[in-house]
A and B are shown apart, each in its own frame.
Chain A
Amino acid sequence: MEHNVVIAGFGGQGVMLIGELLAHAGMDEGKEVTWMPSYGPEQRGGTANCSVVIADEPIASPVLTNPQAAIIFNVQSFDKFEPVIEHEGLLILDSTLVEKKSARSDLDVVYIPATDIAQKLGSSKYTNMVLLGAYLGKVAPITMESVYGALPIFLTGKKTDLIEINKRALQAGVDFVSKK
């Protein structure tokens, strides 16, 4: 079984971080994982994306031409990735920041006001976790426990205090998709 996802937005939105979190959690579960960033001048425009693959078998390519799923943080990334998502794939979109609607009828699209939800939890900084939560609620390539377990790797020192609120943000994402 292989799960893969592209996560894309602006640098500074925590795009790379939730990718790494996902990969770490997958590794801790004993799965094969890869994390692949966009690199070089591609970043100059301020956009950033990464691809994560979680699988039971050794992973062929960490580069995804047609990802099974995409978590999208901005319009540029919507335009870039929405057309290439695998047939009948999953699109998760921060509807607070991206006003566009997908024209593809085959996709499972989640319009989640992630920034609004994060702000209600205290800060738009948690938007990335809300979106990751929505993905995990839909796909569940790994357990929430593993994801929670990997949080302390990224939130160290003074940020340890933020672990709880990040968990709440993840859970809010899960709740949003499981309501329906």
Chain B
Amino acid sequence: MSSKVLMKGAEALAEGAIQAGCRYYFGYPITPQNETPEYMSRRLPEVGGRFVQAESELAAINMLYGAACTGVRAMVSSSSPGISLMQEGISYISGSNVPCVVMNAMRGGPGLGNIAPAQGDYLQAVKGGGNGDYKRIVLAPSSIQEGVDLFVDAFELAEKYRMVVMVIVDGLIGQMMEPVEFKTQVDVSTRKPPEWAVSGRHGRDHANIITSLTLDAVELEKWNLAHQAVYAEVEKVESRIEEYQMEDADYAIIAYGTMARIAKTTVRLARAKGIKLGLLRPITVWPFPAKQMQAYVGKLKGALTVELAYRQLFEDVRLTLCDKMPLGWYGRGGGIVPGPQEVLTAFEEQFGKGR
């Protein structure tokens, strides 16, 4: 028990990134994740890293682009309006195969919206946001501990596939305190720049060039096809899901992040009433754990998607399970977080008493 510390989410995630080997952080303040850059400004110099407060999110993502081109572990974090500004950079970084990590502590929108917890950036995160045909891996922890643990995977996945990995949380995970344990320390002290990085030739027999520009249509199509193959591979092997009380379930709730931890209590409440409810919780929202969900076709009488947004996650659920079982949806927006009972009521309204 003694290795557990009580930490605010936005700080614990920052420490998690550092433990995963992140040494460079670029950011611009925005609530509800200001504690992340503030923590980085104190902590990174202690581990030989650098914190840079950028003049804007536009600058921050491009600083990250530069840093990551040299092959180091680096990241930015922001919240919804700032992440919108970063979309250009994310597209460029994706178009030039540079691995890095971007964290979004989602808040209520659109526009300035508010600073309360929300999941309204789901489609932006998983479907695009920036221009062009690219994908990024999107991890959606539902507790501070899971977020900390996932940071190790985030950097590894980014480097393995040379993709942008996005970690999406929300104001709730950012602001709350929970006990957390730092289990893995990645030692980056002896790391050499990877062979594709721009770090000066230093005797290398060729120059490395990192660019997202491919003027020739035939060449760009080749790039696209090669990356479609990478994305297909990622979809095949990297999707993750938590299946909670699903062994004998008649029905499932499908939810991720903060909404999923609330839905877990809904499952317990339902089970106490004799309803055989379980939870399917995507941990990767891209790649979407479609196969794992489709395995329940024929076993489930229905599934209720619950989210802090309006039919965004539901879009992926429909693509996965449409016509295969009755689907329901319940969501709240604007920063409102429904309680477990509210979700159960929604379930009962849409699926009867679950028998």
Give A contacts to B, CB under 8 Å.
20, 23-24, 27-28, 30, 32-37, 39-41, 57-63, 65
Q: How far is the CA of A41 from the CA of B262 in the complex (A)?
A: 26
B32 close to A (CB within 8 Å): yes
Between A and B, 26 residue pairs with Cβ closer than 8 Å are A20-B6, A20-B177, A23-B6, A27-B6, A30-B1, A32-B179, A33-B177, A34-B177, A34-B178, A35-B176, A35-B178, A36-B172, A36-B176, A37-B176, A39-B31, A39-B175, A57-B268, A58-B261, A59-B178, A59-B261, A60-B263, A60-B266, A61-B339, A62-B172, A62-B178, A63-B172
Minimal Cβ-Cβ distance residue in B for A62: B176
A62 proximity list for chain B (CB < 8 A): 172, 176, 178
Taking a contact as CB atoms under 8 Å apart, the answer to whether B339 and A65 are in contact is: yes
B16 close to A (CB within 8 Å): no
A59 proximity list for chain B (CB < 8 A): 178, 261
B1 proximity list for chain A (CB < 8 A): 27-28, 30
Give B contacts to A, CB under 8 Å.
1, 4, 6, 31-32, 115, 143, 171-172, 175-179, 258, 261-266, 268, 337, 339-340
A34 proximity list for chain B (CB < 8 A): 176-178
Which residue of A30, A41, A63 is within 8 Å of B337 (Cβ)? Answer: A63
Taking a contact as CB atoms under 8 Å apart, the answer to whether A58 and B176 are in contact is: no
Given A24-B6, A28-B1: A33 and B179 interface contact (C-beta under 8 Å): yes
Taking a contact as CB atoms under 8 Å apart, the answer to whether A27 and B172 are in contact is: no
Q: Which 5 A-B pairs have the closest CB atoms?
A: A60-B265, A35-B177, A62-B176, A36-B176, A40-B115
Q: How far is the CA of A63 from the CA of B339 in the complex (A)?
A: 9
Minimal Cβ-Cβ distance residue in A for B32: A39
Taking a contact as CB atoms under 8 Å apart, the answer to whether B262 and A61 are in contact is: yes
B4 proximity list for chain A (CB < 8 A): 27
B31 proximity list for chain A (CB < 8 A): 39-40
Taking a contact as CB atoms under 8 Å apart, the answer to whether B32 and A40 are in contact is: yes
Q: How far is the CA of A43 from the CA of B232 in the complex (A)?
A: 47
Q: A34-B176, A34-B177, A62-B172 are in contact. List 11 more A-B contacts (CB 8 A).
A: A20-B6, A33-B6, A33-B179, A36-B172, A36-B176, A39-B31, A40-B115, A58-B261, A59-B178, A60-B261, A60-B339
B263 proximity list for chain A (CB < 8 A): 60
B264 proximity list for chain A (CB < 8 A): 58, 60
Q: Which of B175, B262, B263, B265 has the most CB of A within 10 A?
A: B175
Q: How far is the CA of A58 from the CA of B258 in the complex (A)?
A: 13
Q: How far is the CA of A12 from the CA of B261 in the complex (A)?
A: 32
